Amino acid sequence: MNQNLLFPPCSTAEEWEGLPVINTIDLTIRKSQLIGILETICQELELSETQRENAESKYQAVGNWLASSDDALLQNAQIYSQGSFSIETSVKPLGREEYDLDFVCLVPKLSPQVPPSYLKKLIGGRLRENEKYRDMLEEKARCWRITYANEFHLDVTPSIYNPMCGRGGELVPDKKINEWKPSNPKGYRIWFEERARLRPRFLLLESPLAKAQQQIESLPGPTSFKGFLPRIVQLCKRHRDIHFDQRESEFLPISIILTTLIANSYAHCAANFTVENEFDLLLEVLRHAEDFIETRVKDGNVCHYVWNDTTANENFAEKWNQDSRFAQGFFSWHKQALIDFERLPLVSGRDQIKQYLSPVFGENIVSKALTSLTTAVSSHRAKGTLAVAAGVGLASYRPKTVVVRPNTFYGA
């Protein structure tokens, strides 16, 4: 559990007694400012545009090499991104410089009657024919990894079409490469993007809150804002990584579980709640994430299910039912995440914010984000290009504007 230096952890109403009491106006302003800091942290965590273009160039080259094989099976091979790179929720890994980038090599002509080990071997053999890839290639349990030192590594997973899935699903190797397992990377991306396009409802703040919000100086809108849902996923993934950095990391909740639960919760919150600002949206999404874990009792044991809605019978939480420590890992992280985010608005001032956020997101990332934000604010203030945002504050960069549905996390 994060032993925060400013406040001891607490999770019950009684434990909150004695913490600072903040009036409504100050709390609203703090939340608006904090969401800008969190947006900047996300920008520091993700691939730069140059890194992204480089990764795309590299995986296209791999795809072209596979498709130019003399083997007829590989000649129609398609390689495409899946996972966090595909839905733009990648975060910088801890302790090393390389990003994990996941890709699928779809071979459409292969029948499910052919064992997955055959296709995996075929792809590996073709990659070894390339002198450059040969020295960078590493065989993993279900995929082939090509490592570009100090940049990123590409994990290439074999797949074929799933004739039993009417949603364009695919089959990928199971952990032991003994049989095919249903999946749907393209369908999942569509599913996630549909939820990301949902617009949450925000209150129109009236006086005196709206007047108080006019005290906030906001930067011109960012050019690379990803949307609310991807940003919430990135924040949760980074918090998870820090939370498990000194713990049993093998029980860390996998990204697909976090992403699925948060996406479902976001859709629920967007449809059913009206919140005051972006920070409150973040809290509501996190609070309701657990609601989308299905539980059943089998033979006296509680089993958990986080379903992949894009293909039949894929339970992302299947490991939880084999070893309860995986479920415990998720629930312990979720409890701490709620504590850390709920208490953040109680902190004020750059130094205290830095002190609070450093053990939550990592000292280096937090320092970079705060420096970047301070530099940007100073630059725009000097140029006279800062604007005052009313209402929710972070969504609009036109003076004296009140907005119902903002579309950025950015603030000052």
pLDDT of residue 313: 83
Q: What is the domain partition of the chain in residue ranges? A: 13-47+194-388, 49-193
Cα–Cα distances (Å) from 327 to 157, 252, 261, 360, 393, in that order, read 26, 9, 14, 21, 38
Helix (H, G, I), strand (E, B) or coil at 349: coil
Helix (H, G, I), strand (E, B) or coil at 187: helix
- What percent of the chain has pLDDT above 70? 79
320-343 mean pLDDT: 96
Question: What pLDDT sits at residue 97?
Answer: 66
Per-residue pLDDT tens for 135-173?
999 999 999 999 998 888 999 999 999 998 878 899 999
Instruction: Give the pLDDT score at 28.
Output: 79
Q: Residues of 282-314 as b/e, b for ≥16 C-beta within 10 angstroms? A: bbbbbbbbeebbeeeeeeeeebbebbbebbeeb
Burial of 193 (0-12, 13-18, 19+ CB in 10 A): middle
CA distance 318 to 316: 6
Can you give the pTM of this predicted structure?
0.83
**Neighbouring-strand partners of residue 302:** 297
Nearest Cα neighbor of 392 from 195, 229, 198, 206 is 206
Structure tokens at 356: 């609070």
pLDDT tens-place string over residues 188-230: 999 999 999 999 998 865 444 444 444 444 433 443 457 899 9
Q: Which of 45-49, 384-388, 399-403, 405-409 has the lowest mean pLDDT?
A: 399-403
The tokens for 402 are 């009140």
> Which CATH superfamily, name and number, covers 49-193?
Beta Polymerase, domain 2 (3.30.460.10)
- The torsion region of residue 362 among left (phi > 0), alpha (psi -120 to 50) and beta comes to left
Q: What is the mean pLDDT of the chain?
A: 82
Residue 267 tokens read as 């859709």
User: 349-401 pLDDT, tens per residue?
Assistant: 888 999 999 999 999 999 988 888 777 666 655 665 554 333 223 332 222 33
Cis peptide before 115 (omega within 30 of 0): no
pLDDT digits (tens, 9 = 90+) for 1-18: 333 334 333 444 444 344
Please, which residues bridge with residue 217 across strands? 388
